């Protein structure tokens, strides 16, 4: 490590447990910060130690409520005004990513707006995991380190030792991701074609591919209400699948998601800790298993801090 600019890892409230784990993997202490809250709900974060000349990494997933995003923006601004050398926003889950295009008239492109806000706040670099669409990287005018949870999920899938494994995409948009998994695992792909009645409401699902007798793992970037996932799992089981599991990087799990999963024919759901759970105990006794991205982000931060290439991380992914 170079001495010129010290490494400082800070956490916003939403992602403190993950930030603490990242700092632990890096062998550094989590930086000290505090938050002043006014009676009307306005808040003001502050650093409790000097960040002058430091390479500052601020960990925060920007899932709703919007306070999570705004707290990150304020932390970035505070670091720049305190003369930090470089400020990197470590955003394990990049919120508003589903708004990456105008899919109907008179709607915003929320992902681009968030990218602009981060740049305006003074962000020098962004790190994120499994963006909803790869092209979101192009919304930024600063470098983006895009890491893939695939490097965590692939070893786990291999450890299951499923003889008749097939990988499924929950919709046509996930075909590229499913194909990437299937290629590395040497197994067939199943594509689920869905039609939506409206947002978060799936009308119908048709599975394309050999399903009967297969142990199927549905791969996706996020699980929100789990409506699509559970319906896809039920359709696959009705078509004769031996078992259905799911891997998704971001466990949003809003609304009746946990109830939907519990009542579905899916046997296991594997997610990462990019979106923190307010109550870690809530997954005990459920079908949900959580894998950590802390070591993965720590490795990328270490490479960036030491001006080293991150290409070996992607090379390792190719060789899994």
C-beta separation of 293 from 303 below 8 A: no
Catalytic residue among 194, 231, 282, 287, which? 194
C-beta separation of 76 from 26 below 8 A: no
Point out which residues pair with 202 in neighbouring strands: 196
Q: Is 24 considered catalytic here?
A: no
C-beta separation of 117 from 81 below 8 A: no
The rounded Cα 210 to chain-centroid distance in angstroms is: 30
Instruction: Give whole-number Cα distances, 309 to 7, 25, 140, 177, in Å.
Output: 17, 19, 20, 24
Name the nearest CA neighbour of 270 among 177, 117, 113, 160: 160
Q: ∠ at Cα 256 (255, 259), nearest 5°?
A: 155
- Residue 107: other Cβ atoms inside 10 A: 10
Distance CA 181, CA 167 (A): 7
C-beta separation of 161 from 215 below 8 A: no
Q: Give catalytic residues, as residue numbers.
A: 194
């Amino acid at each position: 490590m170079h001495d010129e600019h010290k490494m400082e890892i800070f956490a916003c409230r939403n992602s403190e447990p993950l930030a603490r784990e990242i700092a632990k993997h890096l062998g550094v202490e989590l930086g000290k910060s505090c938050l002043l809250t006014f009676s009307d709900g306005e808040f003001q974060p502050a650093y409790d130690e000097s960040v002058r000349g430091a390479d500052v990494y601020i960990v925060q997933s920007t899932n709703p409520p919007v306070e999570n995003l705004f707290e990150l923006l304020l932390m970035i601004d505070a670091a720049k005004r305190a003369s930090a050398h470089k400020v990197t926003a470590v955003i394990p889950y990049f919120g508003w990513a589903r708004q990456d295009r105008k899919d109907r008239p008179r709607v915003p492109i929320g992902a681009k707006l968030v990218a602009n806000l981060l740049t305006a706040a003074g962000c020098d670099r962004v790190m994120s995991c499994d963006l909803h669409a790869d092209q979101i990287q192009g919304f930024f005018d600063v470098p983006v380190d895009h890491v893939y949870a695939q490097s965590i999920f692939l070893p786990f899938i291999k450890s299951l030792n499923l003889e008749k494994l097939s990988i499924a995409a929950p919709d046509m948009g996930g075909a590229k991701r499913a194909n990437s998994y299937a290629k590395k695992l040497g197994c067939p792909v199943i594509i689920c074609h869905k039609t939506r009645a409206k947002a978060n409401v799936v009308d119908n699902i048709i599975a394309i591919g050999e399903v009967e007798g297969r142990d199927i793992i549905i791969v996706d970037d996020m699980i929100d209400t789990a409506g699509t996932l559970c319906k896809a799992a039920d359709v696959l089981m009705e078509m004769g699948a031996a078992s259905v599991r799911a891997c998704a990087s971001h466990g949003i799990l809003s609304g009746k998601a946990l109830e939907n999963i519990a009542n579905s024919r899916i046997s296991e759901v594997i997610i990462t800790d990019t979106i923190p759970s307010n109550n870690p105990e809530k997954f005990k006794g459920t079908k949900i298993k959580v894998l950590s991205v802390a070591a993965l982000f720590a490795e990328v931060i270490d490479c960036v801090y030491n001006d080293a290439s991150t290409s070996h991380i992607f090379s390792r992914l190719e060789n899994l």
